[in-house]
Amino acid sequence: MKCKYLILLASMGFAVLVLGPSPALAASPTLGSAASFGVLGASTVTCTGAGAIAGDVGVSPGTAITGFNPDCTLTGTLHPGDAAALQAHVDAGIAYLALASQPCNFTFTGVTSLELLPQPLSSGVYCFGSGVLLNGPINLTGPGPWIFNIGSTLTTGGSPEVGASVFVNGKPDCNGADVFWLIGSSATIGVNTKLVGNILAIASIGLDPGASLIGRALALNAAVTLSGQNTVSVCGSGGNIPPPGPPGCKIKVICDCDDHHDKDGDHHDGDSDHHDGDSDHHDKDRSTCHDRDGDDHHDKDDDHHDKDDDHHDKDGDKTDR
C-alpha cells in the first residue's frame, strides 16, 4: 500500500512588521512519537559518505533507507516503512499543524537573510511570507521556544570562516530549549552549517557536506538526503500543547490502494487498516477531526444499516423457505 500525506494549510497574510499588542508567546507542540527520530523522510532517506545520526531513522510511506552502517553510523533504530515510522510521520504532520496555528509575534516581508535581523532574537514566532537565507550566525536568547514559520524555502550557506550557525543562550546547541523551523517547501542546509532546531518541511530536507544539525530533520512529503560528513542529534523534547481541533484540523492521509486485491478481496479492509491505524491515533487525541466532526454519528448510522441488513437477511431466509 502506498500512502502519501497531504498537509493542507490556510493561507496567511504577512505585513512588514507586527504592530499593536503582541500575540501570546509561543508554546512548544508535542512531537509525539516523532521525538525519537533524528531523521524521518516520506519517500527515501539517503546518507552518503561518513556521517553519524544520534536518534532513530525512518521513512514512511516509502521504504528506502540507504547508506547506513557502515557508511553512516546510527545510534538508534532504522524504521523502513514500518508502523513506528508511520505513526511518527502522522505525529510530525500534527506537530506541523500545531506550529502553523500559532500567532506570529514578529512578521516580516522583504527580509531574506535571518542574520540581518536585530540580534539577539527573543522567544516567539517569527513569520516570513517567502523563502529566507541564513548566511551567518544568529543568537537566540530566552527560555524558548523559537518558531521560524517560513513560507517557502530555507537555504543556509556562508563562508567557511563565518558559516551559518545558531546559538541558543550563547551555546551552539538547543541548551534545553525548543527551536522549530517550519518550512513551507524544502530546506537546504549548506556546507559546514551548524544549525540548531527541529526542521519540519512540507517537501524535502538536504544536508550538504559538513553540515550538522542538532535537532531533527522531518520531511513530510519527500526525501531527506545527507551528502557527507553530516551529524544529526536529537535536541529539545517538544511540549505538550494539544493538536488543533476542527475547523483547524486539516491533515489527511490519502492512500493509493495498490493492495486492494488482497486475499479476502476486501478493498476496504486492506486499505482501511491504514485509516484505522490513524483513526486510533486520532482517538488518542492526536487529532480528532473525524471524531469531532461526526464519526460517532456515522458509526451509529452504520450500526443501524447493519441491523437493517440483518433484517433483510432474515426476510430473505423466509422467502427462501
Round the average pLDDT of the chain to a whole number and report it. 76
Radius of gyration of the chain (CA): 22
pLDDT digits (tens, 9 = 90+) for 207-260: 999 999 999 999 999 999 999 999 999 988 776 555 444 444 444 444 333 333
Q: Which helix (H) or strand (E) holds 148?
A: strand 137-150
Residue 144 lies in a domain: yes
pLDDT at 240: 59
Maximum average pLDDT range among 99-113, 126-140, 263-277, 299-313: 126-140
**Cα–Cα distance list, 124 to 171, 239, 270 (Å):** 19, 14, 44
* Assigned domain for 50 exists: yes
The pTM score is: 0.72
Q: What percent of the chain has pLDDT over 70?
A: 65
Q: Count of domains in the chain?
A: 1
| CA distance linking residue 145 with residue 124, whole number of Å | 6
Whether 208 is in a domain gets the answer yes
Q: Are 214 and 174 in contact (CB under 8 A)?
A: yes
Residue 264 has pLDDT above 70, yes or no: no
Alpha carbons within 13 angstroms on the beta-carbon side of residue 131 total 10
Look at residue 238 and tell me if it is in a domain.
Answer: no
CA dist., res. 2 & res. 198, Å (int)? 26
Question: Is 26 inside a domain boundary?
Answer: yes
From residue 316, alpha-carbon distances to 2, 252, 302, 304, 306 in Å are: 40, 40, 20, 18, 15
Between CA 4 and CA 221 the distance in angstroms is 7
Structure confidence at residue 275 (pLDDT): 40
230 CB contacts (<8 Å, ≥6 apart)?
47, 51, 52, 72, 207, 209, 210, 211, 212, 213
Q: Which residues of 145-175 are buried (b: 16+ CB within 10 A; e: fewer)?
A: bbbbbbbebbbbbbeeeebbbbbbbeeebbb
Give residue 83's identity as a one-letter amino acid code.
A
Q: In which domain, by residue range, is 97 found?
A: 2-233
- DSSP-derived letter for residue 22 is P
Q: What are phi and psi of 80, to 5 degrees?
A: -85, 90
**Tell me: the pLDDT tens digits for 295-314?**
444 444 444 444 444 444 44
Q: Tell me if residue 112 falls in helix, strand or coil.
A: coil
Look at the chain and count its residues: 321
- End-to-end Cα, the chain, rounded Å: 44
Q: 299: helix, coil or strand? A: helix
Would 282 be classed as within a structural domain?
no
Q: Write the CA distances from 241 to 35, 92, 198, 285, 290, integer angstroms.
A: 14, 14, 16, 11, 20
259 inside domain:
no
Average pLDDT over residues 63-75: 92
pLDDT at residue 294 greater than cutoff 50: no
In a domain, 285, yes or no: no
DSSP 293: I
